[in-house]
Structure 1
Amino acid sequence: MLAVAGGKGGVGKTTTTLGLAGALARDGRPIRAVDTDCEMPDLHALAGCERDPPLSAVLDGERVPEQPVATIPGVRVVAAPRAEDRAAVTSALGRLRDRPTVVDTPAGAGPDAVAPLRVADHALLVADGTPQALRDAAKTGAIARELGVAIVGVVLVGTLEQPDGVERFLEIPVLGTVPPATEPLSDPAVWTAYDRVAERLRRQTVI
């Protein structure tokens, strides 16, 4: 299970979750993309899926409440729980071990952001290349390390340039840069970038 994380909001975690899931699914394996942001859930909307049933439904004995993404073959989306069900995130994620799963985590460093990291095997940090986003990513990386989660690298979204010293600052490799785009998941250049990141993850046998 791979958590897509980064302390700052709006840096491209949700786009990366869905784009990376789509890129990973190109080898024929079904990939699950799960939203754990109870306050600002938007993975389902980006994927063109319904808000219900959410992740928490898996705890009711139902089958995994996943929906196919019509525009991205091989990817199934699970929407985030309602805010009142946020305590269910850790338990519900723990039941999703039947297929490769990419998890969209909330921004910040509070309990909601930490919950999915407790379950993940690996974490991929996301930042937009700005100093604030990189500082927040470093904080998220520190939390992940404290929880014993292996950090596989960082993806820089909305930029073609890698800031000087970013790998040294974060103590992880940059796995790719994703170019800016008005509609990212409709842009071939964006998909090419996520394909490259996916290939690097396959080589590491991360997912």
Structure 2
Amino acid sequence: MIGVIGAKGGSGRTTTTLGVAQAIGTRQQPALAVDCDWGMPELHLLANVDRYPIAKLSDQDQIPTQSQVRRPDQWSTVRVLPAIEPTREQGIQQMLDQMRWEGQIIVDGPSGVGQTVSSIIKASDQVIVTGTGTTVGIQQTAKTIRMANTLDTPVISAVIREGTPPYNAFNGIIPECRVHTVPEISDDPLSATATKDAYQEISNAIGSVAQKEMV
């Protein structure tokens, strides 16, 4: 399971979730993009699929059913699970820990560094941190990376949009080779060759970064 997190709204978490899912999914084992941003669910909008009707997942193994999972018309290698808020008794980390899918699961988290983001980091084997190239954006991205490091969840990549971060901007908290930039394309970015190439490069890093040891 890969969590996509970022402290700043508009940093490209949802686009990155679908871009990476598109890059690593296959026809035989599609990647499952899961929307955990219940305050502002946009994954289904970007994927152009319906959010409703949505049934609750089972109390045991969280195996999404065909009635819950959406298949975007434009991507045969991606499935989408629109925002399902866990019960208060269950909690986000338990819901994700119990979720089962044959392919890779990519979780689209909310902005910020609150409890929900912390739970997503803990439930994930690896995380991708998104941010912008502004001074404030770099500071917020560094803060999120440090949070993942503190929780012992490996960071696959810091994905920066709207500019290129200064050299060694994340010195000491993430290797320079794991900092990637994604071009800013306003019109259908997930279909643009430059954007697809960028997400393919990020997805290639997944296997090279050690996963968290689950106790």
TM over 0.5, shorter chain: yes
Partner of residue 32, structure 1: 32
What is the distance in 2 between the residues matched to 1:117 and 1:142?
Answer: 12
RMSD value, Cα: 2.6
Q: Does 1:78 align with 2:81?
A: yes
What is the distance in 1 between the residues matched to 2:79 and 2:88?
Answer: 21
1:58-97 mapped onto 2 (5 Å cutoff): 58-59=57-58, 63-64=63-64, 65-82=68-85, 88-97=91-100
Q: Which amino acid counterpart does residue 130 of structure 1 have in structure 2?
A: T
What is the distance in 2 between the residues matched to 1:6 and 1:178?
Answer: 15
Greater CA deviation, 60-69 or 8-17?
A: 60-69
TM-score by length of structure 1 reads 0.86
Partner of residue 176, structure 1: 180
Aligned length: 204
In structure 2, the CA distance between the partners of 1:72 and 1:146, relative to structure 1 (3 Å rule), is same
TM-score by length of structure 2 reads 0.83
User: Equivalent residue of 1:39, what SS?
Assistant: coil
Q: Which has the higher helix share?
A: 1
What is the distance in 2 between the residues matched to 1:146 and 1:57?
Answer: 32
Partner of residue 189, structure 1: 194
Consecutive unaligned residues in structure 2, runs of 5 or more:
none
What is the distance in 1 between the residues matched to 2:172 and 2:52?
Answer: 40
In structure 2, the CA distance between the partners of 1:140 and 1:162, relative to structure 1 (3 Å rule), is closer
What is the distance in 2 between the residues matched to 1:154 and 1:164?
Answer: 13
User: Equivalent residue of 1:167, what SS?
Assistant: coil
1:1-207 mapped onto 2 (5 Å cutoff): 1-26=1-26, 29-54=29-54, 57-59=56-58, 63-64=63-64, 65-82=68-85, 88-98=91-101, 99-159=103-163, 161-168=164-171, 170-173=173-176, 174-183=178-187, 184-204=189-209
What is the distance in 1 between the residues matched to 2:27 and 2:158?
Answer: 22
User: Equivalent residue of 1:15, what SS?
Assistant: helix
Superposition deviation, residue 39 in structure 1: 0.3
Superposition deviation, residue 15 in structure 1: 0.3
- Identity, in percent, stands at 29
What is the distance in 2 between the residues matched to 1:176 and 1:85?
Answer: 36
- Give yes or no for contact 2:8–2:137 (8 Å, CA) kept in 1: yes
What is the distance in 1 between the residues matched to 2:158 and 2:127?
Answer: 9
